[in-house]
Amino acid sequence: MGRRKVEIKRIQDKNCRQVAFCKRRKGLLKKAKEISVLCDVDVAVVIISNRGRLHEFSSNNSLTGMLQRYESHVGAEKEINAEIQVAEFSNHFEVSGFTTMGELLQTTERQLEETNADGLTVTDLIHLENELQTALIHLRARKTHLMLESAKVLHEKEKLLQEEKKHLEDNIASIKKNTKVNEMSDLPAPHMICGQQKVTLNFF
Amino acid sequence: MGRRKVEIKRIQDKNCRQVAFCKRRKGLLKKAKEISVLCDVDVAVVIISNRGRLHEFSSNNSLTGMLQRYESHVGAEKEINAEIQVAEFSNHFEVSGFTTMGELLQTTERQLEETNADGLTVTDLIHLENELQTALIHLRARKTHLMLESAKVLHEKEKLLQEEKKHLEDNIASIKKNTKVNEMSDLPAPHMICGQQKVTLNFF
DNA sequence: CGATCTATCTATAAAAC
DNA sequence: TGTTTTATAGATAGATC
């Protein structure tokens, strides 16, 4: 989109690269905003320059939270935090430090690669992994159960209301069938009449 | 950038919006990739369509991991809170074609066991795990959305039925109010037995 | 839906300030 | 570093299949 076509590979000239970054960053954030508005979707964009500056767009609070959370972890602190987490983990077996299996496995890999630095054995990791797995399974089972239960309740509610509705409609139909017109002159709906014939209710 | 200029506001026509979303999403992700390569920066883009589908680009694994971890945490918290507070979901997730969490876990475990038979490295496992994690996040985002959507539909249904019911009751009340008792002398007593169910009619 | 085709609009490379 | 200008590459709205 410029005077000449550019190949998509790292721009060698530092200055050109910086200029391109400013321009394209602006464009990208604009595009993100546009799509979020035009198409009514949630979009989050995070850009971290190679100098560590953070630029972001977020169409949504929860995503903003995500970005803030990310921001708090970014930079040099990230490495340190990771080290601290690993240390705490190996010392106290704190589950909370690890959020995903991926992280767990990554830690495992690091430990394996680091020629068995301190303490943390693969057995320990497997133990923790099992604990996490179990907790997840329990949580998911409970969640699924609650969801199914709720759906059932709502469906039963609906069914009941449908039945009630039918009953009421039948009532009105019966009344109409058995009522004289002349008695109903002041009713909003003249066709709904009570009459002298026996009302038949076929509720059940 | 098309046949005519478009105002940046929510596209009303649903179909147009969807088409625009597909095109612009592709464009946005492409741009994100380009800037990350050209300018040597880390970029993450997360898009969640209003149907709950998740699309993302990430130039960097750790960034992806970070976002995914965030998603997992907040997503899970949100789901649980929603369950406890509202506890209303419908059978949509039965129709959605997705397996349950339990099934997914079982499948995962089976796959891991099978692949593990061959000499897979930890790196291979991490890669596989990340793929599964991503799939899981997509699935959860979509599932949660479908469930909430279904609950909404059911609630609307219920509300409608309640209104209909009230209307019908009002009709009956009007009829009662405007009907002379002497015209009803040959009607059954206000309390009638239909089959085995006692039905109380307050018509008169 | 999704792909393909254009006319048109937009982004941006390069240059200059 | 940011803005403006200009020429041009790229994105995409609307249409068609």
User: Mind listing the pLDDT tens digit for each residue in A75-121?
Assistant: 333 333 333 333 333 333 333 334 444 454 454 444 444 433 334 44
Average pLDDT over residues B153-157: 74
- Closest-CA residue of B relative to A164 is B165
Phi then psi for residue A184, to 5 deg, are -105, 15
Phi then psi for residue B89, to 5 deg, are -135, 160
pLDDT of B31? 92
What global pTM score does this model have? Answer: 0.49
Which residue stretches of chain A have pLDDT < 50? 66-102, 104-105, 107-122, 124-129, 131-142, 182-204
Average pLDDT over residues B156-184: 79
In chain A, residues with a C-beta closer than 8 Å to the C-beta of B63 are 46, 48, 70
pLDDT of B140? 56
User: What's the pLDDT tens digit per position in B51-87?
Assistant: 656 677 888 765 555 455 444 544 544 444 443 333 3
Nearest residue to C9 (CA, C1')?
Answer: B1
pLDDT of A78? 37
* B13-32 residues near strand C (Cβ < 7 Å): 18, 22, 31
**Strand nucleotide closest to residue A23 (CA to C1'):** C12
**How long is the CA B6 to C1' C8 vector, in angstroms?**
12
- Closest-CA residue of B relative to A62 is B74
pLDDT of A105? 46
Is the C-alpha dihedral spanning A25, A40, B9, B12 positive or negative?
A: positive
The token pair that represents B8 in the structure block = 């940046």
> How far from chain centre, in Å, is Cα A189?
49
pLDDT of A108? 43
Q: Which of B191, B176, B187 is nearest to A183 (CA)?
A: B176
Contact B66 A73 (CB under 8 A): yes
Tell me the pLDDT band of B134, cut-offs 50, 70 and 90. low
